[in-house]
Structure 1
Amino acid sequence: MPVDASAKGRSLPPVAMTVEAGRLAFFAKAIGQADPRSSAPDGRLPVPPTFLFGIELEQPDPFAWLAGLGVDLRHVLHGEQSFTYHSMAYAGDTLVASPRIADIYAKKGGALQFVVKQTAVARDDGTPVADLESVLVIRDPEAAR
């Protein structure tokens, strides 16, 4: 089933998260880094760069937007992720992720469809922290090959 291309340019609901020091320590352990508390001599615990990707996963159904496009999650591959950083975030900051669907296109006669999602992350006062871009690849098993 083709992805609903009319969603191109659509803004998705923002997601806010207050960054907790314990979550940062758990994240560091999960990715094999030393406890970040040991590298924060000034007491300001920095948010690791890729931690920002997880903000949008903090909602009850983080992939509902894909289902709304008619995407069967069994056919999704996370193809690409990029980050552009503007400022450091720290434990205690409240961050707001504001995603939008930037592009939808197909290749291989529609057998592979691509959804590009761009997410601006800012502090709750509006100060930019980072811009994220992810590319999802959706295989359409019904498309001619």
Structure 2
Amino acid sequence: MLDKTKIGHQFESFKVDVEKGRLKFFAKSIGETNPIYIDEEAAIAAGYKSLPAPPTFPFSLDMEGPELLPVIGLLNLDIGRVLHGTQEFNYFGQIHAGDTITVSSELKNIFDKKGGALEFVVMENSYTNQDGELMAQASVTLVYRNV
């Protein structure tokens, strides 16, 4: 069973610069065709200060930390038994090209099902811009197979 005393652990925050090229690449990779995501003039004409980040973009920021999925080390998980379960976003503002986003993560919960055969690790990630404004939060659930 996973160590539930780790619930509440806050991981080291890190900063990521949001660049235009990265936003364009992300938009293209998810099949986004709305010109506001790939043409800065279209974005400004639509009322944005620069290219806006597509809705699921904060997930890609998680990968920029000093360690990929630091919860793996904290809970001593075998990566071969980890599955991405769910991810939900709440948005409070718009991330734009030129922003510097601070990513903060906390281990929010650990629970099991099927008599402990499956354990669920719930993380909450927060994305705050350079002005200290919370732009988004994500709830991420990982599934750990014990059998």
TM-score normalized by the length of structure 2: 0.89
Q: Give the aligned residue type for 1:108.
A: K
Shift of 1:62: 1.0
Q: Which amino acid in structure 2 is aligned with residue 111 of structure 1? A: A
- The DSSP-based 3-state class of the residue aligned with 2:110 is strand
- 1:29-108 equivalent positions in 2, closer than 5 A: 29-34=28-33, 36-38=37-39, 39-42=42-45, 44-108=50-114
Q: CA deviation at 1:4?
A: 1.7
Letter in 2 for 1:41: I
Distance 1:129 1:17 in 2: 14
State, as a whole percentage, how many aligned pairs show the same letter. Answer: 38
Q: CA deviation at 1:120?
A: 1.3
Q: CA RMSD in A?
A: 1.4
Gaps of 5+ in 2: none
Q: Deviations over 1:19-63 (max 9, x none)?
A: 000000111111111362334134611011101011120124312
Tell me how far 1:140 sits from its aligned partner. 0.6
Aligned residue pairs, count: 140
Letter aligned with residue 108 of structure 2? A
Aligned match of 1:16: 15
Whole-Å separation in 2 of the counterparts to 1:28 and 1:86: 20
Q: Given that residues 11 and 99 in structure 1 are in contact (C-alpha distance below 8 angstroms), is that contact kept between their aligned partners in structure 2?
A: yes
Structure 1 spans left out of the alignment, 5+ residues: none
Contact 1:77/1:137 (8 A) holds in 2:
yes
TM-score (normalizing by structure 1): 0.90
